[in-house]
C-alpha cells in the first residue's frame, strides 16, 4: 500500500501495553492518519516518549530497555506491512540516546487533536 491508497478512515496506529495489563496488550487504536508518513511519525514519537518515561538518571541503555519492556508502550501501524515503522529498528538508539522534547511530542501530530486549536493567523 502507499499513501495514495490509505485505508478507509485513514491509517491506524495500535498502541500496545508491554506490562501485560491486558491479554492482547492492545491499549487503543487511533485512526484518521491521512498518510502513512504521518502514522509512522506518530508511532515513532509515541514510542520515543514511552522510552523516555521509563528512563531514570544513571540507567544504562540495557536498563532503559528492560524498564520499557516491563512498563512501556509500543506502537504499530496497522496493515502497513513492510512500510510501517517498527520500534525494533530503533530501540537500541532510543535507549542509548535520550530524546529531546520535540522528538517525543506525539500529541502535536495526533489526528484526534488536529484542528482543536484554530489557527488565527490563517
Residue range 90-122, pLDDT digits in tens: 999 999 999 999 999 999 999 998 665 544 443
The cell for 97 is 540516546
What residues contact 10, with CB distance under 8 A and at least 6 apart? 31, 32, 33, 34, 39, 111
Would the pLDDT of 17 be above 90? yes
Handedness of CA 81, 86, 66, 109 (dihedral sign): negative
Domain membership of residue 120 (yes or no) is no
Please give the tally of structural domains in the chain: 1
Q: Are 79 and 1 in contact (CB under 8 A)?
A: yes
Residue 117 covered by a domain:
no
Mean pLDDT of 16-20: 89
Domain that holds residue 76: 3-109
Instruction: Say what the pTM is.
Output: 0.87
Structural domain contains residue 118: no
Instruction: Please check whether residue 66 lies inside any domain of the structure.
Output: yes
Residue at 121 is within a domain: no
Amino acid at each position: 500500500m502507499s499513501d495514495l491508497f490509505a485505508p478507509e478512515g485513514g491509517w491506524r496506529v495500535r498502541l500496545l501495553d508491554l506490562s501485560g495489563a491486558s491479554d492482547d496488550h492492545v491499549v487503543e487504536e487511533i485512526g484518521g492518519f491521512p498518510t502513512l508518513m504521518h502514522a509512522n511519525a506518530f508511532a515513532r514519537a509515541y514510542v520515543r516518549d514511552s522510552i523516555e518515561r521509563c528512563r531514570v538518571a544513571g540507567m544504562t541503555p540495557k536498563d532503559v530497555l528492560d524498564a520499557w519492556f516491563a512498563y512501556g508502550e509500543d506502537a504499530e501501524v496497522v496493515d502497513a506491512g513492510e512500510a510501517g515503522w517498527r520500534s525494533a529498528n530503533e530501540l537500541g538508539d532510543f535507549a542509548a540516546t535520550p530524546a529531546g522534547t520535540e522528538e517525543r511530542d506525539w500529541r502535536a501530530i495526533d489526528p484526534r487533536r488536529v484542528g482543536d486549536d484554530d489557527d488565527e493567523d490563517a
